[in-house]
Amino acid sequence: MIAPVTLFIIVMLYVLLLFGVAYFAEVREASGRSLVNNPYVYSLSLAVYCTSWTFYGSVGRAATSGLMFLPIYLGPTIMLALWPVVLKKVVKIAKANRITTISDFISFRYGKSLALSVLVTVVAVIGITPYLGLQIKAILSTIIIFTGKGELASNAGVAVTILLGLFIIMFGIRRLDLSERHGGIVFAIALESLVKLVAFLLVGIFVTWHLFDGLGDILSRTKISGNSYLMNLLGTSVTTSYSEWFAMTFLSMLAIVFLPRQFHMAVVENNDESHIDKAAWLFPLYLLLINIFVLPIAFGGLLLTQGGQNPDYFVLTLPLDHGSGSLAIFAFIGGFSAATGMLIVEVLAISTMVMNSIVMPVIYKFHGVRGFSTIVLNIKRLVVIVIVFLGYLFSITVGAYESLAALGLKSFEAVALFAPPLIIGLYWKRCNKYGAFAGLCAGFLIWLYASFVPPLINVGVIDKDSFIGIMAASHFFNPTALFGVWGMGKTLHTIFWSMLAELIFFFGVSLATRQSKEEEMQSLLFVESYEVAPVSGHSVSYVIEDIENILGRYMGADEVQKVIEGFLGRKNKDRSELFSSDLIELRTEAEKMLAGSIGPSLSSIVFEDRFVLTEADKVEIAESIERVTESLRLSRQELSDANQELERSNRELQQFAYVASHDLQEPLRKVVAFGDRLKTNYADVLDERGVDYLERMQNAALRMRHLIEALLAYSRVSTTAGTMAEVSLAEVVHLVLSDLDHTINECGAEVVVGELPQIKADRLQIGQLLQNLISNAIKYRKPDGQVKVAVSSFQQPGSSFVEIQVKDNGIGFDEKYLDRIFAPFQRLHSRQEYSGTGIGLAICKKIVERHGGTITARSAPDEGALFLVTLPLWR
Amino acid sequence: MTERCLFVFFIGLLVFNWPLLDIFQGEIVAYIYGVWLLFIATLAIALHRSNRSVKADGAVSGDSRP
């Protein structure tokens, strides 16, 4: 046992450390050297998912139900595979519109519906309170275990509750602009995640290798003990409850997104969308690590205590009972971290929901806007304290009768109800607020009935002879087997019926009712990521000062000034120079800004109250939405049709070029041949002018033949293309150089070939590409001096592309002609200066594009040229 | 990236549920922890490759230099 004072000092020191760490992180952030803007801290902060339920409850669950503790961690692991797709979309929308809670997000999707926002908040508060109670219960239980004095628990509980409330107030709600991220809290939570992981691993190592001789020893002693209960835990429990296994996996898949604290950490506190990609595998790795020693601790504990202790607290009692007090204290700190981390973030998220959805709309209705910012801040502080104490009350009343895992699962079931309106709302435009509201109500009522009626009847809160009691005793409305369907596990039963009801109402009511114009606009934003532009063209009835005044009532004067100055700076205008369209834009921006402080629903109400839209504006908005919806539908179809048409005409054009150039060759050959005969046989009967005409005609025919051959070569790139295979560039260059051997020797050129990789290419075409580039380098040489050509390659680490460089010391060209040199039959020099048709580089470009690469050049007159070709590597 | 993520997601649903768990009933603990680690590695590789190809696509469709 440890003296209560010692334990109190330890707790105080740890809380002070958290305060210090949070303060340090905020100072660093303010100085522009953020500690939290990296994927590792982001991933660790997501581990707020692992609460005391994980730290203590997993071992308890493993000791009573074997592997059934695992689905709670496997679900998030599976779900995180979808995060880079789904969560990025949520983060994008939330950031763009300064959304700070899950209730605001859902309400924002459904036309900023305040009623829906209130309902989501009520579900969250009722659903999460058991979970808050779970954390406080764990802290109180561990204090009793350590001190052996149960009477201390209530005082300690109150003290811990106040301390946590203060921490949240200090670092969570100092200002009203809630869309500001809380770097201090995030860093403190990340530290807590690290502490609980290390503590759990150390206890696992202690049990496995200090109390036993490793994993094999625990397993063999389990077998030797002949305890069939223990043996059963190692496997058959899974086979007997696959439905529960699946239900819990499914629930936890949803919980990792929809628990208010997870939404807060993953969406609101996200600094950079790219962090999501790394967190998608780092966080599951954390979950794996924190679960590695659950079974050894559970089995070790059962073997050593022979079932004489509560397995929920083996993590603490095993080190304590086996002479490792310091490890036990560290484990206590780990458990304390797990509980407090969850409490801090969850209370912060829920208090924001309560404020935005319930308190502020009420204040706005009854109190107007006088002294709003001060009132709101103080009320929010009060709300934080109330919510923390609500959790405390639950822990010492109902929570006393339930296990840690059972309490946690109730919360998971409740937040799973947010999935249909949010996820379906991201991908289905037709769903509306009536459907979302009806669905959520139906699901919530069933969840409430199935989850709380049985325990409340058991503890006597609901009388068995009351209406609900009689209903619960009936065959049809039995809360553990609704509609007379037996055989489902407890978790599956609740989630199946509540979600089924929710989905039926959600789809049914959505299909039976119409969306408002506001909803249509929001559905475009969510589903199509298309924001309908504010109306323009009309004069507006407000001025910049009106917007300033409204913001000033809810935010500090300095912050309002920053917003206005920022807007004017971006527009590069003075206050007096703003047009109506600018004011409309500023109003939209201000509404979003205010949404970060008071939620989108109320923000919308506040601005609509002050700036009532004219009938003309409303008609224009409606027409604008209809136009956008229709054009989006049409544009997709048109785009597809146009694409097909383009592909068809491109094929026809290539075919035409090939056929035309091929068929033109024959008559041209005859023109040249008969011209030759004319010149040979009839030159003496022609006068000088006639011979001149004949020679000109022959030269023109020859030029035309070259052009046709060039055109044929150009069209062959696509019409007679070979297959892509592994090609050694070094070999190809070697062959090209041997083909050009005569030309190289003739002008004494020096060709240096560097290291070249294997690429994925059409061997013949790559040969043609390199031949064109090297022969060009030789052709466009300076009249004096030795020709030097270098062929080399460059590859960026990790890239799947290689850059091939062909450099020469020739005459070069002005880069302003860069586009021209790659166009067919375009030349920078006359035929007298340099022979050719101007098709070579056009062929190069076509070959490179066919390979999915790029070609460009760097050059200056008389400075030589560097051609850069990017091609995919062979992998 | 979407296709890869969806593929890994469905693989996860498959390997961590019935009937595969039933097949490996004899070595269920080793199976779950082993497959868990493998799944994380697969996810990391899939995301890494997706990001790399996104960057490479950017290089091909954007400026000439990769």
Q: Are A75 and A252 in contact (CB under 8 A)?
A: yes
* Interchain contact, B66 vs A801, CB within 8 Å: yes
pLDDT tens per residue across span B45-56 = 988 887 776 655
Where does B1-66 show beta strands of DSSP type E?
A: none
Q: Does a structural domain hold residue B27?
A: yes
A245 close contact with B: CB closer than 8 A? yes
pLDDT tens per residue across span A217-238 = 888 887 777 666 666 666 554 4
Q: How confident is the model at residue A274 (pLDDT cuts 50, 70, 90)?
A: confident
Report which of residues A329 and A526 the model is more confident about.
Answer: A329
For residues A548-555, average pLDDT: 73
Q: How many other C-beta atoms lie within 10 A of the C-beta of residue A797?
A: 4
Q: Residue A398 has what pLDDT?
A: 65
Q: How confident is the model at residue A172 (pLDDT cuts 50, 70, 90)?
A: low
A796 close contact with B: CB closer than 8 A? yes
What are A8-15's contacts with CB under 8 Å, separation 24+?
A8/A156, A8/A159, A10/A329, A10/A332, A10/A333, A11/A160, A11/A336, A14/A333, A14/A336, A14/A337, A15/A163, A15/A167, A15/A340
Q: Is B64 helix (H, G, I), strand (E, B) or coil?
A: coil
ipTM confidence score: 0.88
For residues B22-30, average pLDDT: 81
Q: Residue B66 has what pLDDT?
A: 28
Q: How confident is the model at residue B64 (pLDDT cuts 50, 70, 90)?
A: very low
Report which of residues A51 and A32 the model is more confident about.
Answer: A51
User: What 8-state DSSP symbol labels residue A614?
Assistant: P
Q: Residue A291 has what pLDDT?
A: 93
Report which of residues A417 and A485 the model is more confident about.
Answer: A417
Please state whether the peptide bond connecting residue B19 to the residue before it is cis, i.e. omega within 30 degrees of 0. Answer: yes
Residue A364 has pLDDT above 80, yes or no: no
Nearest-CA distance A599 → chain B (Å):
31
The two beta strands, A725-728 and A758-761, are antiparallel
The Cα–Cα gap between A778 and A789 comes to 8
Residue A293 has pLDDT above 90, yes or no: yes
Q: Does a structural domain hold residue B65?
A: no
Q: Which range has the top average pLDDT, A413-422, A520-529, A702-711? A: A413-422
Q: Does a structural domain hold residue B25?
A: yes
Q: Are A79 and A253 in contact (CB under 8 A)?
A: yes
A79 close contact with B: CB closer than 8 A? yes
The Cα–Cα gap between A622 and A624 comes to 5
For residues A656-684, average pLDDT: 80
Q: Residue A80 has what pLDDT?
A: 92
Give the lowest-confidence range in A21-35, A97-111, A527-541, A831-845: A527-541
Could you tell me which residues are beta bridge partners of residue A758? A728
Considering only alpha carbons, which residue of chain A is nearest residue B62?
A854
Residue B65 has pLDDT above 50, yes or no: no
Q: Does a structural domain hold residue B20?
A: yes
The Cα–Cα gap between A525 and A426 comes to 9
Q: DSSP for A685-743, please give it.
A: GS-HHHHHHHHHHHHHHHHHHHHHHHHHHHHHHHHT----EEEEHHHHHHHHHHHTHHH
Residue A772 has pLDDT above 70, yes or no: yes
* Interchain contact, B18 vs A246, CB within 8 Å: yes
Residue A443 has pLDDT above 90, yes or no: yes
In a 13 Å sphere around the CA of A647, the CA atoms on its Cβ side amount to 6
Q: How confident is the model at residue A637 (pLDDT cuts 50, 70, 90)?
A: low
Q: Which of these, A868, A394, A46, A89, lies nearest to B65 by C-alpha position?
A: A868
Both structure tokens of A317: 């009692």
Q: Which of these, A173, A199, A181, lies nearest to A50 by C-alpha position?
A: A199
For residues A789-810, average pLDDT: 84
Q: Residue A442 has what pLDDT?
A: 93
Residue A500 has pLDDT above 60, yes or no: yes
For residues A404-412, average pLDDT: 72
* Interchain contact, A292 vs B33, CB within 8 Å: yes
- Mean pLDDT, chain A, integer: 81
Q: Residue A372 has what pLDDT?
A: 61
Report which of residues A131 and A372 the model is more confident about.
Answer: A131
Q: How many other C-beta atoms lie within 10 A of the C-beta of residue A129?
A: 24
Both structure tokens of A538: 């009309």
* E strand or H helix at A780: none
Domain that holds residue B50: 2-59
Q: Residue A585 has what pLDDT?
A: 75
Q: Residue A283 has what pLDDT?
A: 94
Q: Residue A631 has what pLDDT?
A: 58
Residue B59 has pLDDT above 50, yes or no: no
Report which of residues A497 and A459 the model is more confident about.
Answer: A497
A234 close contact with B: CB closer than 8 A? yes
Query: Which among A74, A803, A854 has CB closest to B16?
Result: A74
| Domains contained in chain B, number | 1
* Interchain contact, B66 vs A295, CB within 8 Å: no
Domains of chain A (ranges; CATH) run 4-405 (1.20.1730.10), 418-526 (no CATH), 533-613 (no CATH), 630-716 (1.10.287), 722-872 (3.30.565.10)
Report which of residues A617 and A683 the model is more confident about.
Answer: A683
For residues A89-117, average pLDDT: 85
* Interchain contact, B6 vs A85, CB within 8 Å: yes
* Interchain contact, A84 vs B1, CB within 8 Å: yes
The Cα–Cα gap between A314 and A304 comes to 10
Q: Residue A616 has what pLDDT?
A: 58
pLDDT tens per residue across span A667-676 = 888 888 888 8
Q: Does a structural domain hold residue B64?
A: no
Q: Does a structural domain hold residue B39?
A: yes
Nearest-CA distance B58 → chain A (Å):
11
Q: Does a structural domain hold residue B66?
A: no
Residue A210 has pLDDT above 60, yes or no: yes
Considering only alpha carbons, which residue of chain B is nearest residue A245?
B17
Q: Residue A559 has what pLDDT?
A: 73
Nearest-CA distance A277 → chain B (Å):
7
pLDDT above 70 covers a percentage of chain A that reads: 87
Q: Are A764 and A727 in contact (CB under 8 A)?
A: no
Q: Residue A374 has what pLDDT?
A: 67
* Interchain contact, B52 vs A856, CB within 8 Å: no
Q: Which range has the top average pLDDT, A95-99, A169-173, A370-374, A633-637? A: A95-99
Nearest-CA distance B30 → chain A (Å):
11
**Chain B residues whose C-beta sits inside 8 Å of any chain A C-beta:** 1-2, 5-6, 8-9, 12-13, 16-18, 21-22, 25-26, 28-29, 32-33, 36-37, 39-41, 43-44, 47, 50-53, 55-56, 59-60, 64-66
Best mutation target among A70, A74, A288 (most B Cβ atoms within 10 Å) is A74
Q: Does a structural domain hold residue B32?
A: yes
Residue A777 has pLDDT above 70, yes or no: yes
Q: Residue A177 has what pLDDT?
A: 52
Cβ-Cβ contacts under 8 Å between A and B: the total is 115
Q: Residue A42 has what pLDDT?
A: 92
Q: Residue A239 has what pLDDT?
A: 44
For residues A715-728, average pLDDT: 77
